[in-house]
Amino acid sequence: MTWLRQAVCAALACCLLGGVSARADDQPITIGFSMELTGPLAVVGKSGLLAFQIWADNVNKKGGLLGRPVKLVYYDDQSNPSNVPGIYEKLISVDKVDLLISSYGTNLVVPAMPVAISHNRLFFGLFALAANKQFGYPKYFSMLTFGPNPTKSFSQGYFDLAMAQNPKPQTIAIVAADAEFSRNASDGARENAKAAGLNIVYDKTYPPTTVDYTPIVRAVQAAEPDVVYVASYPPDTVGILRAIGEVGLKTQMVGGAFVGLPAAALKTQLGPLMNGVVNVELWEPVKTMEFPGVMDFIKQYQEQAASAGVDPLGYFLPPFAYSELQILGDAIAATGTLDEDKLADYMHSHPFHTIEGDIAFGPDGEWTEGRPIWVQYHDIKGNDLDQFREPKTVSILAPAQYKTGDLVYPYTKARTE
């Protein structure tokens, strides 16, 4: 009977091991990240989370990836960069997530990068301007449209538009927050201003904790610049444009990088204060930018936005957040693995078809071809949201393949038309 007991035990062991293996195959593929769910950037961050969730739901309805469901593991970073490193250490060491992506924006992406690098993990940055320039990390990828030289291209179009006017502007003021994103943006603006032959008559940063922007705008007005370039994050964007309206800033052109203007919350707060602003953006719901699948996603997003309590339009971050996970999912499906070295190699060597068009990555993880757009806001009346649902209050000025309107110049004229 000994042999029988041994045989039974062996059979049971095989069954148990087989069961463990089967259960392991059923374990979800986990994607970990922090996100601004509270704090000043939550107005954008929560819309990105919904886009991630829509992607995961869509993938799971089709059977998941590699025959396994997908699960998002995330924590609220409270819009605070100092919270980010600890969250990513937990995601890696405690949650043991399979893949890492970032929260929204340069200021929250850069603090996570040393953690990802120290663990040799693939890392995807969402709307991070030149985040890899100080690291040169080969497993970093950027979901931002500014191409192989993002610091320069981030503001290049603004200066191209300004210098095409007659008479050409001679002077410029540069206003930026003292934070990672705005420093990168203003570095590029200085480079482009110098190349254009503009004299910089004002160039100062302000603390991210600034509440009253009126003294800043008055100082800019005193310098009498022909053009004003601003690099701000969403809370600052509101404060600066309100101060510009209060002071009645007289200049030929205002804008540059007022981040967050496509978000519904900022549109409805600012209303006509946006008129005349020329700004860099990434996508607008216009015929020239209806990439395959993007309007279907926007419809799906908007159907869920109200119940999720997020941006009801979804024109800013959401389609790019969805595209980011499309890329990760397609790379996993194509390689048949979660091995991050193999995924990184594949992502560097293959183009991807997303709802934001075709995307390919260079050696530093930036897009091989830039595709920012420059827009001007106009004809905004009151603060009603419906006027922003269709592109009747914004014109794409450049590049030519997406253009929908012409620049109204100067700013003093544009903001009243």
In tens, the pLDDT along 349-389 reads 999 999 999 999 999 999 999 999 999 999 999 999 999 99
Burial status of residue 119 (CB atoms within 10 A of its CB: 0-12, 13-18, 19 or more): middle
* Contact call for residues 154 and 121 (beta carbons, < 8 A): no
Q: Using CA atoms, how far apart are residues 227 and 74, in angstroms rounded to an integer?
A: 42
Residue 182 pLDDT more than 80?
yes
Task: Strands of 242-359 (E only): list them.
Answer: 253-258, 278-281, 352-354, 357-359
246 vs 104: CA distance, rounded Å: 30
- Strand 140-143 and strand 99-104: the pairing is unpaired
Q: What is the pLDDT of residues 97-147, one digit of tens each?
A: 999 999 999 999 999 999 999 999 999 999 999 999 999 999 999 999 999
Whether residue 282 contacts residue 19, with contact meaning beta carbons closer than 8 Å, is answered with no
* Sign of the alpha-carbon dihedral angle for 70, 75, 77, 82: negative
- Specify whether the CB–CB gap between 156 and 141 falls below 8 A: no
Residues 6+ apart with CB under 8 A from 72: 30, 31, 32, 33, 52, 53, 56
| Tally of helices (H runs) and strands (E runs) in the chain | 14, 14
As a whole number, mean pLDDT of residues 217-227 equals 98
pLDDT confidence of residue 24: 54
Tens of pLDDT, residue by residue over 8-32, are: 344 444 444 444 444 456 899 999 9
Q: Which residue has the higher pLDDT, 336 or 15?
A: 336
Alpha carbon 335 to chain centroid, angstroms:
26
For residue 250, pLDDT beyond 70:
yes
> CA–CA separation, 368 vs 351, rounded Å?
10
pLDDT of residue 12: 42
Residues of the chain with CATH 3.40.50.2300: 23-145+290-359, 150-281+378-414
Q: Name the token pair of 35.
A: 């996100």
Closest CA to 369 of 144, 95, 108, 46: 144
DSSP 159-205: HHHHHTSSSPP-EEEEEEESSHHHHHHHHHHHHHHHHHT-EEEEEEE
Parallel/antiparallel/unpaired status of strands 70-76 and 29-35: parallel
Contact 179, 233 (CB under 8 A): yes
Give per-residue pLDDT as tens, 43-64. Answer: 999 999 999 999 999 999 999 9
CA triple 209-215-217, angle to 5 deg: 100
Of the chain, the percentage scoring pLDDT greater than 90 comes to: 92
In the prediction, which pLDDT does 48 show? 98
Class at the top of the CATH hierarchy for domain 23-145+290-359: alpha beta
Helices 294-308 and 318-335 meet at what angle, rounded to 10? 120
* Residue among 314, 347, 363 at smallest CA distance from 122: 347
Pairing assessment for the beta strands 140-143 and 123-126 based on DSSP bridges? parallel
In 3D space, the residue among 384, 308, 266, 383 whose CA is nearest the CA of residue 47 turns out to be 308
pLDDT in tens, 282-323: 999 999 999 999 999 999 999 999 999 999 999 999 999 999
Q: What percent of the chain stands above pLDDT 70?
A: 94
Confidence at residue 26, expressed as pLDDT on a 0 to 100 scale: 80
Is-cis flag, bond preceding 399, omega within 30?
yes
pLDDT at 256: 97
Q: Does the domain made of 150-281+378-414 have the CATH classification 3.40.50.970?
A: no
Tens digit of each residue's pLDDT (9 = 90 or more) over 195-207: 999 999 999 999 9
